[in-house]
Chain A
Amino acid sequence: MKTVVSVIGKDAVGIIAKVSNICSDCNANILDITQSVLQDMFVMVMLTEIKDLNCTFVEFSDKMKNLGKENNLDIRVMHEDVFNSMHRI
């Protein structure tokens, strides 16, 4: 299963490193990563493969959410199918 990790917020040093650290801790494989600035907001989107996760999906997702809270960022982990079904016919 693939998930999309999205990070939205004010740009700062080390955001990608922190997010990647959690991926590595949880054994989530980063497949693709892209970032840009949209409407003055830093936006980073990461596609990860989580079939070999060493924790539950909820734990992985909660770790990301907490990281977001600590750094004043909106971090969400969502199933890839959400975007595929909404934007592709």
Chain B
Amino acid sequence: MINIHDIMETINMISEENLDIRTITMGISLLDCCDSDPEKACEKIYKKITRLARNLVKTGEDIEKEFGIPIINKRISVTPIAMIVASSGGDPVMYAKTLQKAADATGVNFIGGFSALVHKGFSAGDEALIRAIPRALSETTNVCSSVNIGSTKAGINMDAVKLMGQIVRETAEITADRECIGCAKLVVFCNAVEDNPFMAGAFHGVGEPDCVIHVGVSGPGVVQAAIKKHPEATLGELAEIIKRTAFKITRMGQLVGNEASKRLGVPFGIVDLSLAPTPAVGDSVAHILEEMGLDCCGIHGTTAALAMLNDAVKKGGVMASSYVGGLSGAFIPVTEDAGMIAAARSGDLSLEKLEAMTAVCSVGLDMIAIPGETPAEVISAIIADEAAIGMVNSKTTAVRVIPAIGKQKGEELDFGGLLGSGPIMDVNLNKLPTKFIDRAGRIPAPLQSLKN
């Protein structure tokens, strides 16, 4: 029989340390839903999603009950809608509303893929979709949007960066009466991945199968608790402890992924080895860093601690899963992490430090409320800086900032639920990057891209 201590450890992880499967995400290709009539295309999209995902939520709940592991979210990602708009035409918002309808029918809490991939330039459908993002996010509640504006192979599309600065602002303005929530569902990527199960940036890439199941694990509380038991350990020993913990967490993800794939009759895609925090106490990445010995997340030493944590999580997780993919790294979304919120409130965590942290972990400047007066070109410049880090380091980076319309530094935004709440952080608005952003064009791919 299994060792009683092992059983207790697992139960303790679930009941005391918030171990859970963060998401089961079903990726669905919509390429076969194109039609010369956009309304017919929408009908096909609705039918395909509701046919393939009709049992997704129930299967998730069944597994949750049988295995005793909480599965927090059941979600869907679809082919970037810009591709469907390109061939089927029509108002992109109509497609967003179709996705919303499908989300309501299947009971998932988010559906991602109102997306465009424009890292080298705009093709048919891309610009129309991007310009429709503010309306689409305002008129739906569970649809998520993402735009890929750069990659290591292609460089950075600065035309798209400039446009996205304006779109982020517009999205905030149009949802200003709802805490600017539209921006919490909009991610601007560099090196976006095709099999990401996490929102708001999930979409179903063109290289993926027709339908696939991805799993995102979590467990910052488990890692924190493991570190807490070893106050005297050296950093090398700590890395070992984190690796062992990450292995166990990931095994859980692999088990749930296999089971969901078997029950739904859909191939298993990947496990995303991410430490995804929630605003709940005991589920914070910032608190892991503090447990490692920092007085507060955001002070000097944070980047080094995060780099080690991120690396150890991957090393531990990689052997535990047959297929690792997605974003795989520690997330640092400010409003979704109790420790980050506290550090931002106390002023110990700045936007500049967060930018440095994104160079060593997944994924980017995430869920950061910025002053409502921040002009579009500054948002574009924030996007460009972040994309440059991703492009040069061959990693995914992203920007999900929320201009808090009508509010200033020190005030707070409160989205509720998993999206959390947080203070509006300081942005340098004394001098502007207007000329640089207005130059537009394309930043060429770096030398790192020439690997052949």
Contact = CB atoms under 8 A, between A and B. Distances in A.
Interface string B14-36: 01000000000000000000000
A82 B68 contact: yes
Nearest to A80: B2
Interface in A13-36: 31-32, 34, 36
B271 to A, nearest CB: 12
B254 interface: yes
A36 B4 contact: yes
B243 to A, nearest CB: 13
B2 A84 contact: yes
B2 A83 contact: yes
A8 interface: yes
A38 B11 CA distance: 13
A82 B252 contact: yes
B67 A79 contact: yes
Given A58-B65, A85-B252, A76 B11 contact: yes
A43 B254 CA distance: 28
Main secondary structure of the interface of B (DSSP, over half): helix
Contacts, number: 69
A58 B9 CA distance: 24
Contacts of B65: 57-58, 61
Contacts of B9: 87
Contacts of A82: 10, 67-69, 252, 255
Main secondary structure of the interface of A (DSSP, over half): strand
A73 interface: no
A30 to B, nearest CB: 12
Contacts of A38: 4-5, 8
17 contacts: A4-B2, A6-B8, A47-B1, A47-B2, A61-B65, A61-B66, A76-B68, A78-B10, A78-B11, A80-B2, A81-B67, A81-B255, A82-B10, A82-B252, A83-B2, A83-B10, A87-B9
Interface of A: 4, 6, 8, 31-32, 34, 36, 38, 43, 45, 47, 57-58, 61, 74, 76-87
Q: Rank and list the top 5 A-B pairs by shortest CB-CB distance, nearest first.
A: A78-B68, A87-B6, A85-B255, A32-B1, A83-B2
Given A34-B1, A45-B1, A83-B7, 15 more contacts: A32-B1, A34-B4, A36-B4, A43-B4, A61-B66, A76-B68, A78-B67, A81-B67, A81-B255, A84-B2, A86-B251, A86-B252, A87-B6, A87-B9, A87-B248
